Amino acid sequence: MENSNIFAIEKELKLDEGYQKTYKNVDELLPTLPRSKGWWLDQLLQYQGFWLSTYSVRGSMLIDDHFNPRPTDIIVATSPKCGTTWLRALVFSIINRNSFDFSDHPLRKANPRDLVQFLEANIRGDGSTASIDGLPSPRLLSTHLPYSLFPECMTDDTSAYRFVYICRDPKDVLVSKWHFANKLRPKGVPPLSLEEVFDLFCKGVSHYGPFWDHVLGYWKASLESPKKVLCLKYEDVKKEPLGCLRKVANFLGVPFTPEEENKEIVEEIVKLCSFENMSNQDVNKSDTRSLENPISNSDFFRKGEVGDWVNHLSPQMSEILDQITEQKFQGTGFSFH
């Protein structure tokens, strides 16, 4: 999401030469990129096959030039509205399960976005990589960037970085994004119609879209490098949370021990991270939206259900989306069923 204040701050920063060079490259590149109407007040730019905000193009280029990956890094990757908040909470709870008591857990006091750093945003938080470089290992980071935009040193099959990805039925993603986008539109700006966003979404024009290409990037990587990329579906985690959590823990090399199973730690994590529990924490209930900070924690919780699209999309819209999905995923071995 655009935040013009961040850019204003950046302009005032005293950046070292390396950063200055990257920012200069960004400034030169941006005007050359194809543009399209965004979902908020922003415009989206087509960068290496994906529609990104200025902010994300900049983040991606900064990652290329300045991110210092560590083999122990764990990256929670998602397309927006596919369950980022949920997955951040789950992975955070899994890898820190011995550090906190469930009754007094950080997730009861903080939104997952405050516990898991958003890579492409914080790579330049204060104009440098300091806030990311300063994190202890193993670092848990979050991204919306497509897999293909990560530097080869991270996606190379022999490298140790791990990506946990979650995706979701595009019909529910569209509905969730539509609600989210309208919440973020400043007062006085007319809401986006469902027809309008449907059209954009189908053309692939949505933050980090085309949605289907985003999924396929991670899906193909998970087939080629199963030790490196794990693909989950929101619907599966809803249906079989315990099995999915065990899968994630195994993938991350921290399987639940028989003792932990006896103590029902997996069940505790599922409960802690459930929509009901998280959306009812005070920290996630408050509406703190302001001009400087247009997103509040409560915006990340709406219904948390599978299949809510049926209450919004016309039969024709759902059919068109299903057709696109079928075409895009044909022969890839991936499906949402």
Binding residues for ligand A3P, rule: CB under 6 A, are 78, 80-86, 172, 176, 179, 273-275, 278, 300-304, 308
In whole angstroms, how close is the CB of 286 to ligand A3P at the nearest point? 16
For ligand A3P, the closer CB: 66 or 247 = 247
For ligand A3P, the closer CB: 61 or 119 = 119
For ligand A3P, the closer CB: 111 or 222 = 111
In whole angstroms, how close is the CB of 31 to ligand A3P at the nearest point? 30
C-alpha angle 179/2/306, rounded to 5°? 25
For ligand A3P, the closer CB: 61 or 175 = 175
Phi, psi values for residue 134, rounded to 5°:
-80, -5
Is residue 214 annotated as a catalytic residue, yes or no? Answer: no
For ligand A3P, the closer CB: 81 or 97 = 81
> Which member of 105, 144, 179, 214 is catalytic?
144
The side-by-side arrangement of strands in the sheet containing 140-143 is 117-118, 140-143, 74-78, 162-167, 229-233
In whole angstroms, how close is the CB of 214 to ligand A3P at the nearest point? 12
In whole angstroms, how close is the CB of 151 to ligand A3P at the nearest point? 24
Cβ pair 95, 253 in contact under 8 A: no
Enumerate the H helices of the chain as residue ranges. 4-12, 17-29, 54-66, 84-95, 112-115, 119-122, 130-133, 152-155, 170-184, 194-202, 211-224, 234-239, 241-251, 258-262, 265-272, 275-279, 282-285, 315-329
The CA distance from 81 to 299, in Å, is 11
Helices (H) and strands (E) in the chain, counts: 18, 8
In whole angstroms, how close is the CB of 184 to ligand A3P at the nearest point? 12
The CA distance from 18 to 22, in Å, is 7
The CA distance from 75 to 88, in Å, is 9
Q: Which residues are catalytic?
A: 144
